Structure 1
Amino acid sequence: MYDILGTILHIKLAYGYPDDAPNSICTVMLPHHDVSPKICQPKYIIQSDTSEYDINQIIRITVRGSTDTDYFKGFLLVAKDQNNQHITGTWSLSNSSIKTISCNGTDNTVITHFSTENKLQIAALWHAPSFISEGNIFMKATIVTSYDEIYVDCFNITLKPKQSNSLRVQSISTNIETRMITKPNTKIRWDYSDNIVTVIMTSEPVNVGEWTAIGFSLDQEMGDEYIFVCQVSSTSNVLLRRMHTKFGKRPYPLPSSVPVNISSAVYENGGVTCKFSFETNSTQADNESAPITIGENYYLISAAGNLRTEEQVAKHDFTFVSTKTYQLQNSEVIDLDESFTTTTAASQTNDIRVNITWSYAGSITTVKMMISNLKISQWLAMGLSLDESMGRDHVFICQRLNNNAILLERFINPEGRTRPALASTIVNPGGSFNISLQKFENGITYCDFTLSNFAGTQRRKRQNSFPALSQTASYQPLIAIGNLDSSNNLMQHAQNSRVSLSQTVSLNRNEIIIYDLQSVGSDSTGLMKAHGIIMVFTWIVLVSTGILVARYFKQSWPKSKICGKAVWFGIHRTIMTCVAILTLVAFILILVYKKGQWISQKNQGEFAHSIVGILVISFSIIQPFMALFRCNPDAHYRFIFNYVHATVGFSALVLSIAAIFLAMFFTQFQFQLNKEWSILVVWSCWLPIAVIIFETIEFYFRKKNSSLTGKIDVYDMNNLHANSKNKPETIQSIENPTKDRIKLLALLLHIIFAFGLALALMILIGKS
């Protein structure tokens, strides 16, 4: 977190300091030129690529002359907050003619010149702080055109906080559970005597509003064990609590009724120490985990995270699981960083910002990657592609490992979703790759490297069919982000965490790539999930029910009407109208999500789904319009409508199943195949079973009625009074209610079964 520093604005340059402004400039307001500042004139302009700022946002600031002749030799550029005029944020460079100055112990707080050459404009990147006080930010510049021509407090712009940022600023003290904590170093010691285990747990760094905990588990999974939570409240008070996870990971750990003796709980110098003891011969508490006893082999589990607003434990950001077991009667001293394997909670990708710049000089391309908010066990990649799709691309991946180390590697992405391969495994990938910086500092991940020693085009073509990296080719930048597994292996990114930028770049010229991954964050996937949920409910529950009603209930309820029409027709029409409307709504949602763009054919699964989906949507819209223009039931050519209507409807149902199956391949959802696929397989099997059930019912009663009709005909031939004309109708009226009740029961069974499958699949889509 950046400290809010006292704001100053000054410059020392030109002839007195030919190389640059001195660091001492931070303590004075005017350059040491022994001259007074000039009266302000509209000769220079400060510009920003945005009028608003957000937490951790990277903003390009430009200082330039108002005309082509308004040069300057030196400058000082600084950002100040509105309330107390303190320096805020930090700076990074976009070209070699400028440098940063460190003020009051904070690096990169001021931008100044690097040489006395005439400058028409300069550009720098300002990094907003992680936590900002309310109010505007003022960007101010001191401009020096010559030794005696200095402009101070003449040129400035104002950046307003975004509305969402203002809300977050107001709630920083009460809503810190969403903040990713720094991985604490935890040490644990325990001793045993007379059935009592005495534990000393020390963790640092731990901030206000954070917690750290240890647990003793009979396996390496969290759940059904006792944990001891040492937490620092928003008022810096320390509390030690014994809790249990009898009911697994949800709900959050619950307070335990089993006592724990607290010896001390201290928070000082950014670290927390909790000393406590507990008995190992306690009895089983109701609805709690099994007692902790001696003689058992326990895995040691530790976790850390934020507190919720009511000082309750929120979901952990880190977990630590021992690779061996411990017995509590044996005294231990354990350093978690040295002894444990580490895993991290699922990381959010919608708040990551990346700034990539490179310069070209002497046939060497120097690339600098700066990434804000890259979480532990996450990676961010820059790909250079000859088109806007992944495949046959050069990829540079910056990884933050689960031990907080930074690793930069060069990869080749052979084809589409094929797993990237290290560039060292490819013959002559193009240029030499050399790492110059890998570090994490002040919330920023730095990955710098150089590319040099590029071979000639003809040589590359002879030795390697893969398109080698070129300093002269135009590339489309691709940005992607994903997670690392527990072994620090790359996991595939979600579709919503990859973007192709519209600009084109080349390695033989200076470039700046700035991208805020909030624009492709998880919020936008809500439209895709809504599309999937609506389609699943519509085509699994509604369509199948509407078809069964039209097929098997035309003879049911002969004396009842809905709006003057047969009951089956009223139900079928209502359901299918809803199907058309919901399908159209789902189509609009996915159209908005894709911003009107068609799926590339290189994404074969998604492209196939889109084609099948368009057919399903078209058929569902055609059906009601076709019904509006149907002829009367007794018309000579009515059978044509009947066959076409049934064929289109049945085709749409079959295609909908295919579309849902194709959606299972989408990387956006990251489905677990044993769940989603099993649901679809069961659904595909159930449909013919449901039809067989109804056909069996119809066949049984048709055969039964045929037998009864034969008996009635014999009776009629021997009926002297010829008064048996209505006998068949009488028997039909007796038998139909029984058949209708059985069919209604079968329909209800189908609806319940279909809704259950659809609900399970909709929940999985929502959680994906």
Structure 2
Amino acid sequence: MKTFRRRPFHGIVLWFIFQLIKDVNSYSNGAPTFVCQSMIPGHGVSAQNSVAPYSITPAQPQTEGSKVKLMLTSPSKEEFTGFLVQGRTSATSNNTIGSFISLPEDAKTIDCNNIKGSAATQSNNSKRNSVELEWEAPPDYDGSVTFLATVVKNKQTFWVGIESAPVHVKRSADAPSSGISTTFPPVSPVLSEIFSAEQDIYSGCGKTKNCLGLPEGCISVRNCTTAVSVRPLGLKYQFDMIAKQSEYVAFALSDDQLMGADNVVECIHDGANGVKAYRSWNVANAKKNMREYYEQTGFSLVTGSYADGYIYCRILHDSLNTLNDITFDLENNPYYLLLAAGSSLKPNSVGYHDIARGSTADSRKLSDLRAVVPHDPIYDDCNVLKNCFGYPDDCINDESCTGIVTVLVEGGRYQFELKGKTSGYIAVGLSNDTMMGGDSVMECVYDPNSPSSNIKLFMSWNRPGEKSNTRNKVKQTGVNLLSSSYEDGNIYCKFTRDVKTTVEGKIFDLANDKYYLLLAAGSAVKSEHVRYHDIFATSSGQLKALSDVGSFGAASKLYIRLHGAFMIAAWIGFASLGIVLARYFKQTWVGVSHCGKDVWFAWHRFFMILTWLLTIAGFVLIFVEIGEWVQGSSQTHAILGVVASVLCFIQPFMAAFRPHPGGRRRPLFNWLHWLVGNTAHIFAIVAIFLAVQLKKAELPDWMDWILVAFVAFYVLVHLILSLFGCISERQGAKRINAFPMNDMHTSRSPLNNMDRKRDGVYSGFRKFILFLHFVVIIALSTVLILIVVLAPIERQWTSLQNKWNM
């Protein structure tokens, strides 16, 4: 009996010892060879059935060097303690192939199927969230390989058989052939195209297009079971979708994250390698998809492919589409993007989404992510090894310059680079001040008719005291063009300039003298010189040596900003208030005075004096800034602004010499005063509208809509007050003229006019309208002034958002 009882005890002990040894072998010090085929750790628990939070990703879908770099990682940054990775001829095969030749220090190889180093595993139980490996195929191998991975998070939690995308290994030309034909077929051309399309889907996600991939986090490691990307393409939207082990893949536009009342586009496998696309509708509150009742319009299938369970398609979708009486506006309305894939189809419908289903975390306008400019090497080492100056201000850091110049000094060699978004020219000038005149200019000019190079480099001269440029008498020997290009509307040129040159009798010594940089671009050129810089023109704010590396900031635009702010405050704000008071409120606040004057007159005079002072100040500031008369598109704005300023200037002098209220010419003065004031107001408002289009102002186009809102509101106030003025006259109350050009009393003091003892009819309503008018005008003026002072407002807003998100 004792012997009988000891045996179970010993058996239990031996079983625990065996399990401990097995756990140590498979968990702490790596996987043992007996798990090579199953890849299942001997932990005594089952593998997880959920989607693994880990992925195994090859660096490329094809290699000709027989070597493949792999990354085992967790998109969600989840740590793991153990892993086992093998290369196999296919995901369903047990044929292990190849060897691991490069591993991290905490990993080792084991021999599976008697192939040395054919699997990689951990060598200790330290925690990690990624492993980088390098695998090499046999010398004579030409075919497909899929990498399988088992990842252990802890003893009770692990995932088995995580697959990579297949990699096509192409035997290099100098590799020896064994003379034996392999039985592993190469990747088909269709599957190769799908793999390439898959990488295109991942490229630019979050920068140039919106993307959704499943499982979560798979976009960053480029190994999704299913994925969709969407980007604006002209007036349409391009959707690219891919799914693995699937018969269909579909996206939907939805107002929430749930299935129901959604606009769906499906790509389905239609026999052989064919793919078709359909529009369908997710029925609200029914978990049901319907296709056959809806017209297949508003989208088109550009391309579609199917091979070995992989399905890919590209859809071009209209920005506006109506389905089931609901209009889907992809340009202006935000949507959740739903994505689903399944392994089966139904007649006139798709099957259950058993492969993948999910949605974006938030709704957004699909137009939010427009194409962005990729990294441009011209920005490399800016203000570190070379000087950089660009337009608009502060564009260097985010590589968004419309135009840029760089200066690299290497010993006695001065190398310049110019790049601008123009089809005409971009030029940089060396100047002793921030104004045009007496400057040595280097121009990169686009010549589409040139048989050799489309870009020509010229030296030219800005004539002193003139807004003109010439290259006729300038020797073209001081510069040497190194390289140039014209692509996608961008001019680029790289050139060197001699350290010392003489232009128009003036010596330019780059080594010993300091200069301001003038940067300009225009859309038109002539044979002998460039034309007006209608795209942009800017000046650096520092006089410095070109060899003194540091930031070339733009010259201060304080006077321009103050000019705009003063003019808006004067004409949008104070003039609008003063004119309304004088026109409609002479019969309001009767019996109340300020300093012996009627309330309306005291406030009218106060507002108009502010208008006069701000206008004169703004007029002086802009002439101090510009220095002379402008050219190009600025002239219309300038002419209207000068007319408005002159009319404004003479108004108070006309008022100072006005005839006595009882005088014979007093009505004539009243009419002239009204005409001059309103003409100045109209001209000033039109000039402000035109200022929005000026490059130097850097104002957004949508500012026009705020100005339109101001005009509409201002006109509406006039209509309302005029209407109630007419109604009050008909009721026999004290007469309020719509155009009160005759004085209603002989003195502005209400104490001397006994007929005016009470307010006119509807004075309470007029006061309410005036209060509303005051609030709206002040609000609009404040917004407009902020837009002008903080211009360019979009850049400032983006910068502020970035600071908030830090």
- The TM-score with structure 1 as length reference comes to 0.38
Between the two structures, name the one with larger relative contact order (CA 8 Å, sep ≥ 6). 1
